[in-house]
Chain A
Amino acid sequence: MADLTAAQPTLGLTVHLSFVERNQKWMAPAVFLAPALFMFLVFVVNPIIQSIAVSLTEWDGLGPKEFIGLDNYRELFDDPVFYTAIRNNIIWLVLFMLAPAAGLAIALFLNQKVLGIRLVKSLFFFPFVISSVVVGLVFAWFYDPNFGILGRVLEGIGLEAIPVLSDENWVTYGIIVAALWPQVAYTMILYLTGLNNLNPEVIEAGRIDGAKGWSMLWNVILPQLRPATFIAVVVTVIGALRSFDLVAVMTAGGPFSSSTVLAYYMFEQSIFNFRMGYGAAIATVLFVIMGVYIAFFLWRMLREEH
């Protein structure tokens, strides 16, 4: 900038600084942050406040809003489907943690220099490129008890076909398996890039010290992959909590709401049952759960940085 030279103290004289120059330290970040902050306030914070406000009303989305205080929450905590949804969300969260582990295993397997490995890697990555709606449809056909491959294979080995998507005990697991397929590919890619950035000197040093096999992986490779693990776990947790699309496509929460998750139950109540207030109450609960997780996560991250 042109004033930069003027701002330099020449010949040991104090130079008079303009208002902008005196306050540059806090103004520059403020100015640069302003657009993002503005957008954040309007499009993130504002809807959160609005939806909390809606959760205190009874509203069908068309007519007038009626303030009913905490009645929606009272009803929610007495609603068996709400607990089914929370339980399913927890199952999602736990089983989704298989994705980083499986992703790491596949990444280690694919991280070798063989002819055509690039092609193989891209094939493994393929599920992540497919739209989740297509993944859902393909798995729904796969699970079809009369015409799907799964049923045929089970019958082939003398077992009975399982109607995965219409059996309340299997359905959530069936959907999670479908969701894991692209999620594993995603974490695999994260680990593959991580493996590319390993420091060969550290590995060499480890080798001299006699590390190989599991001890090499556990003590030398994994610590270096920590950034990748970190990202993989974060995207997986978020992926599990926001699970919605596959539930909507594969079962619509059914049979009789046994595969619903909080996000889908919110959608169902607001859009199909026209209870915006009740839906907003569910959204608020989901928001609190995510908030707790994110706070915990930030707290750990800050602690490690210090």
Chain B
Amino acid sequence: MRKLASTILLASGLAIAGAMSVQAGTLVINANTSDPGPKQAFEELVERFEAANPDVDVELNIFDHEGFKTTVRNFLTSQQPDIITWFAGNRMKTFVDRDLLEDVSDVWQDNGLDTTFASSKSALTIDGKQYGVPYSYYQWGVYYRQDIFDDLGLSVPATWDEFMAVNATLKENGVTPITIGTKFLWTAAGWFDYLNVRINGLDFHLDVAAGNVPYTDDRVRAVFAKWQELLDSGYFIENHASYSWQEAQAFMFQGDAAMYLIGNFFVPFFPEDLADSISFFPFPVIDPSVAIYEDAPTDTVHIPKGAQNKEDARKFLAFIAQADNQAEINKLLGTLPPNSEAPIGDDRFLQAGFELLNSAAGTAQFYDRDTDPEMAKIGMQGFQEFMVKPDRLDAILERLEKARQRIYG
């Protein structure tokens, strides 16, 4: 017991450690940008900020991306940093509801963000006030090995039937069609999101995420039925529950798998010799009568309510919102700048992603950002279990429904 308690204490202690040595003129930033690209982007951003504000001394603490999701609660309720990275939508609302984030509507007004960030404003607005500034967003889609497709004479599938045909051909030729790593659960939610918006549309999907629809509803079952078509044919890699999303990349890079439904943050991981062989296509259409919707998660920065140095924190928010900085960091992140005046990187994935999201009839954040955090965890555990044991579908859906009733009841 005590050992356990100390483990937890240690975890929270590590989170607070960064915020301990704070003096006036210091701006403490706790960020979740632990992958190489995002890490470099934030380090360079901080350097530029310090150059522009010589009197401010920035202390940048970078946390593991997965671990940050839990440690953030520790430092929001104890020693609060001046800036945190976080996610728009329900994830942000969870903290705003508990009065943990600063209202930064003034930063929006003073810097004219209402016009430059018009497209993402709603995701950061609660009751007419803004609680953060977005710094990147990105598209999701199917990344695939174009060289393998070319070798087998395959073309990009636009519909579900074409997609299934592509899968079948790949499988016949000894290539597992789809790679995925579900150890940390959320990758499976990408499939749920896309199948749901393609079959039932965005409004229904957001209704599910908001807890208004039973998980045992026939329309939700239709999503799992489509999913099961892929599972029954063995189109996903085996043992995906053993791997993180990064580990699952190896199958695609080695040519054992050909496709990966993932976000554009995947691009910086391409090995050099494959960079030109990997391409991207939008998730295929299942029901032509349903408009095309996409997942476009938005990453954000916020000021905790109890921050010591809110003045410099506001400067930092304004700084990260500038078009040139947005362009610069998103080039390194491999994502899109939410600021409409920022030029988009000339990378083909960014260009394609921008076009995709611009022409979409609407966007969702992501299952674990649109729904209640606890529901998200239980839901994604269910998705993972379903992918391993599809025959347990009924028991899984009943479990999710029970959780939904308890959480939203």
Query: Which A237-255 residues have a C-beta within 8 angstroms of B?
Result: 242, 244-245, 251-252, 254-255
CA distance A274 to B70 in the complex (A): 9
Residue of B nearest to A48 (CB): B1
B242 sits at the interface (CB 8 A): yes
Q: Which of B242, B378, B385 contacts A145 (CB 8 A)?
A: B242
B381, A257: Cβ atoms under 8 Å?
Answer: yes
B374, A274: Cβ atoms under 8 Å?
Answer: yes
Chain A residues at the B interface, C-beta cutoff of 8 Å: 44, 47, 61-63, 75, 143-147, 163, 165-166, 168, 242, 244-245, 251-252, 254-257, 263, 266-267, 271-275, 283, 286-287, 290
- Some 24 contacts from A to B, beta carbons below 8 A apart, are A44-B2, A62-B73, A62-B76, A62-B77, A75-B406, A146-B239, A147-B250, A163-B241, A242-B1, A252-B183, A254-B185, A254-B381, A256-B382, A256-B385, A263-B4, A266-B4, A271-B73, A272-B70, A273-B373, A273-B378, A274-B73, A274-B374, A275-B374, A290-B1
Known: A61-B73, A267-B4. A256 touches B384 (CB 8 A): yes
Chain B residues at the A interface, C-beta cutoff of 8 Å: 1-5, 7-8, 70, 73, 76-77, 97-98, 100, 183-185, 238-242, 250-251, 373-374, 377-378, 381-382, 384-385, 388, 406
Residue of B nearest to A143 (CB): B242
B4, A144: Cβ atoms under 8 Å?
Answer: no
In the assembled complex, which residues on chain B have CB atoms less than 8 Å from the CB atom of A168?
388
Residue of A nearest to B241 (CB): A166
CA distance A166 to B4 in the complex (A): 25
CA distance A75 to B399 in the complex (A): 13
Residue of A166, A242, A272, A290 with most partner-chain B CB within 10 A: A166
Decide if the interface of chain A is mainly helix, strand, loop or mixed.
Answer: loop
A244, B183: Cβ atoms under 8 Å?
Answer: no
In the assembled complex, which residues on chain B have CB atoms less than 8 Å from the CB atom of A274?
73, 373-374
Residue of B nearest to A245 (CB): B7
Decide if the interface of chain B is mainly helix, strand, loop or mixed.
Answer: helix
Known: A163-B239, A254-B241, A255-B385. A273 touches B5 (CB 8 A): no
In the assembled complex, which residues on chain A have CB atoms less than 8 Å from the CB atom of B240?
166
B1, A271: Cβ atoms under 8 Å?
Answer: no
Q: Which of B3, B8, B185, B238 contacts A267 (CB 8 A)?
A: B8
Known: A252-B183, A267-B8. A165 touches B73 (CB 8 A): no
In the assembled complex, which residues on chain B have CB atoms less than 8 Å from the CB atom of A166?
183, 239-242, 388
Residue of A nearest to B388 (CB): A255
Q: Given contacts A146-B251, A251-B183, could you give 13 more A-B pairs where the C-beta distance is less than 8 Å?
A: A44-B2, A47-B5, A62-B73, A62-B98, A143-B242, A146-B239, A163-B242, A244-B7, A254-B185, A256-B388, A272-B70, A275-B374, A286-B1
CA distance A263 to B374 in the complex (A): 19
Residue of A62, A245, A252 with most partner-chain B CB within 10 A: A62
**Least CB distance, A110 to chain B, in whole angstroms:** 28
CA distance A244 to B8 in the complex (A): 11
A61, B77: Cβ atoms under 8 Å?
Answer: yes
Residue of B185, B241, B251, B374 with most partner-chain A CB within 10 A: B241
Residue of A44, A47, A163 with most partner-chain B CB within 10 A: A163
Residue of A nearest to B380 (CB): A256
Known: A62-B73, A255-B388, A256-B381. A271 touches B8 (CB 8 A): yes
CA distance A271 to B374 in the complex (A): 10
Residue of B nearest to A144 (CB): B242
In the assembled complex, which residues on chain B have CB atoms less than 8 Å from the CB atom of A75?
406
CA distance A256 to B399 in the complex (A): 12
B373, A163: Cβ atoms under 8 Å?
Answer: no
CA distance A145 to B100 in the complex (A): 44
CA distance A242 to B8 in the complex (A): 13
Residue of B nearest to A264 (CB): B4
**Least CB distance, A272 to chain B, in whole angstroms:** 6
